[in-house]
Amino acid sequence: GRESYLVGLIGSGVGPSLSPALHQREADRHGLRYLYRTIDIDPLGLGPDGVGRLVRAAAALGFDGLNITHPCKQAVIEHLDGLSEDAAQLGAVNTVVFEADGRAIGHNTDWSGFARSFARGLPDVPTGEVVLLGAGGAGAAVAHALLTVGADRLTLADTDQERAEALAEALAGRFGATRVRTVAPDGLPAAVGGADGLVHATPTGMAAHPGLPLPAELLRRDLWVAEVVYRPLRTALLTAARAAGCRTLDGGGMAVFQAADAFRLFTGREPDAERMLADLSDL
């Protein structure tokens, strides 16, 4: 028979996720039997820590792997048998592979997904000074990616200043204190004014959080702008940035490349990310 795979996505409110379609369409093109099921903790009455029970249940039921999303990416770690080096550094797991020997190993493809999307969508933009807005889960992955691919200096801004400082401290430990700083909201104009690029990693621009995450006047032609929000693909920020003449990158690439990298971990097969990107635009 054909190779078959059973995988799932654990998190809160995962019902409308595009991941099942992205994975299954790519698997179809590889001639695989591949089922990707969402496992929502909310109707199960579970909190983030409930992810441990679900990971053990999935292993017992013969799942090949899992994606893990909000709010379980940190909570899952203590329930795993091992971590990739980058997942250990980030302290966040979005992909779990059940190895042939039964061990559950955690990986992180959010950061690699952003790195690949950035390299594809904004090749050879200057990365001397980059401002990152949002120091939550997505921001931590983006920061790791930018400092790994060679941004010289990163400035973190978050309305929750403590969150920005905690992330900056963790990054300074891994990448060096001279490469990371934080800025309070009132320092944002000066920081953006001196930056080559801006990455947006707050939920602003989603249906539930409409609007712009920073004043439109701060956008100028020689600033590139990368968005992490991908629902919708065209956010108010991207519209304003394009109107200002900025080079832009939408959040769809990160979503697709993290899925592609997870697909490779689950199946050992090389996904065609360009085909998956085309799928995203008609999902």
Can you give the binding site for ligand NAD, defined by CB under 6 A? Answer: 70, 110, 113, 133-139, 157-160, 163, 201-204, 206, 213, 228-230, 251, 254-255, 258
Q: Which is nearer to ligand NAD, 32 or 142 (CB)?
A: 142
Sign of the dihedral through C-alpha 39, 41, 45, 48? positive
Please give the residue whose beta carbon sits closest to ligand NAD in the complex: 136
Catalytic residue among 73, 79, 107, 200: 73
Min dist CB 158 to ligand NAD, Å, is 4
Sign of the dihedral through C-alpha 151, 135, 89, 270? negative
CA distance 279 to 21: 8
Min dist CB 82 to ligand NAD, Å, is 23
Q: Which is nearer to ligand NAD, 113 or 121 (CB)?
A: 113
Q: Which is nearer to ligand NAD, 104 or 167 (CB)?
A: 167
For residue 261, indicate whether it is catalytic.
no
* 34-39 contacts at long range (C-beta below 8 A, 24 or more positions apart): 34/4, 34/5, 34/7, 34/267, 35/4, 35/5, 35/6, 35/7, 36/7, 36/8, 36/9, 37/6, 37/7, 37/8, 37/9, 38/8, 38/9, 38/14, 39/8, 39/9, 39/10, 39/14
CA distance 10 to 37: 9
Task: Give the residue numbers marked as catalytic.
Answer: 73
